[in-house]
Every structure is written in structure tokens, then in C-alpha cells.
Amino acid sequence: MLLVEDNPAMQTTLQRSFERRGMQVVVCGDGSRALDRWRASVPDVVVLDLSLPGTDGLTVLSQARAEGLTTPVLILTARGTVGDRILGLNTGADDYLPKPFDLDELEARVRALSRRNVAGRPPSMPEYCGLRIDADSGAIYLHGAVMELTAREAALMRALLVQPGHAIAKERLLELVFAGESDVQPEAVEVVAYRLRKKLSGTGAQIVTLRGLGYLLKDGA
């Protein structure tokens, strides 16, 4: 599991508690680094605090869901109002436990999410032009090797790979690639698409611009 908690005392207590119960724990105390840890560790469950330095927990969760990361998330926070719970669940959380909490209850909820994740884990998507999305980590592979992509490039690539050969509107891609960034212009998608085209050069896969419709991924062989 991945534990994202910035309070050192709480982080240590929870890590030791989970490890005593036989769980492997990766810890992170900074919201701006949480997504990198999430991608790298491929956890069964993420326990996520909301009040984090760098990037707040809701933004981390929103970006993760926009990238296609489907790991179950339990929000752990001092914000315990109904409105906060609804906001967290609507952003993509699977469970919500306000502080203070009982460690046994937390463990039970984490194990329940982990069992549900393993039982309901979908198979990896079929390859298209040598490209595929790993269902567990959300990483994108090209001919068996992980592609070195920025978060925005990966978000765009995932969106196009879900429906290869079908156009996706620029406005929809803007929502997925720049999740939570309300001041970004639609033209910003063009910059990300341009960089991604260069990385796909010579692979047989092409990103095509359809004026007035959006973008699609096609076999350029």
C-alpha cells in the first residue's frame, strides 16, 4: 500500500502498525511527489491525507484518476464534515475515514479495499501498434518497454489508446490532460500532442488532428 501522510508522527505510527499486520508500506509526505510514488509502487491501496505540502490530496487524487490510475483510495483526514466527504468521494475516493480513528477499523477498511481491488482488477488492454496500458500501474508500454512520458503526455496517450481510431474532442482531452487547471486554454493540448508525436515517430502509431473534431490515434504503417 501507499501511505501519503505529511505528519511525521502519524506517518511512523501508521507505517509500523500496518507492517506489524504484515502489509508492505511505501510512505510519502509530500503531495507534489505522491503521484510519482503512486506510479512507481503500483500499490493495492492508497491511504491519502488531504492536507499535504506541495499539492493537496484532492488534487493528487484528481490527477491520478485523470491519468487512469484506478487504485482504490481511502481518504484519511481531519476534515470530517459531510461536504468534505462528498467532495472526496466525487473526486474519486473509494472510502473516507476522519481523524481521530481506530487503527483496527482503518486496517479493516484497507484490507476490504485491497480484496476488492484484486478481485475486480481488469486485464491489461489489448495492444495497438505495439502500445498498451498496464491495468495495474497505468504505465504505457511500447513493444514491451515503458515509455518515458510526462504526466500530461501519459494522460493524453491513455485517452487516445482507450478508443484508437476514434476522434476525441479537444475539450475532453483538455479536461483529462490538465485536470483541475481551470485557466488553461484549449491550444495547450496541441503542445502536448506535438511532443507526443515526436516520441511516437517511427513506431507505426500516429496522432492525427481532425479539424473541428479533435485527435485520434491510428496505425500509420
For 125-138, write each residue's pLDDT tens digit. Answer: 568 888 888 765 67
pLDDT at 118 over 70: no
Q: For residue 206, give the C-alpha cell.
A: 500516429
Q: At what angle do helices 57-66 and 31-41 cross, to 10 degrees?
A: 40
- The Cα 29–Cα 7 span in angstroms is 7
pLDDT at 75 over 70: yes
pLDDT of residue 89: 76
Q: Which domains does the chain have, with CATH numbers?
A: 2-120 (3.40.50.2300), 149-219 (1.10.10.10)
pLDDT of residue 23: 85
Sequence-distant (6+) residues with CB within 8 A of 29 are 4, 5, 6, 8, 11, 52, 53
Of the listed ranges 45-54, 71-80, 104-113, 114-123, the one predicted with least confidence: 114-123
Bridge pairing between strands 46-48 and 26-28: unpaired
pLDDT at 117 over 70: no
For 141-155, write each residue's pLDDT tens digit. Answer: 888 888 888 878 888
pLDDT of residue 113: 87
Question: When comparing pLDDT for 176 and 34, which is higher?
Answer: 34
SS3 track for the chain = CEEECCCHHHHHHHHHHHHHCCCCCEEECCHHHHHHHHHHHCCCCEEECCCCCCCCHHHHHHHHHHCCCCCCEEEEECCCCHHHHHHHHHHCCCEEEECCCCHHHHHHHHHHHHHHHHHHCCCCCCCECCEEECCCCCCEEECCEECCCCHHHHHHHHHHHHCCCCCECHHHHHHHHCCCCCCCCCCHHHHHHHHHHHHHCCCCEEEEEECCCEEEEEECC
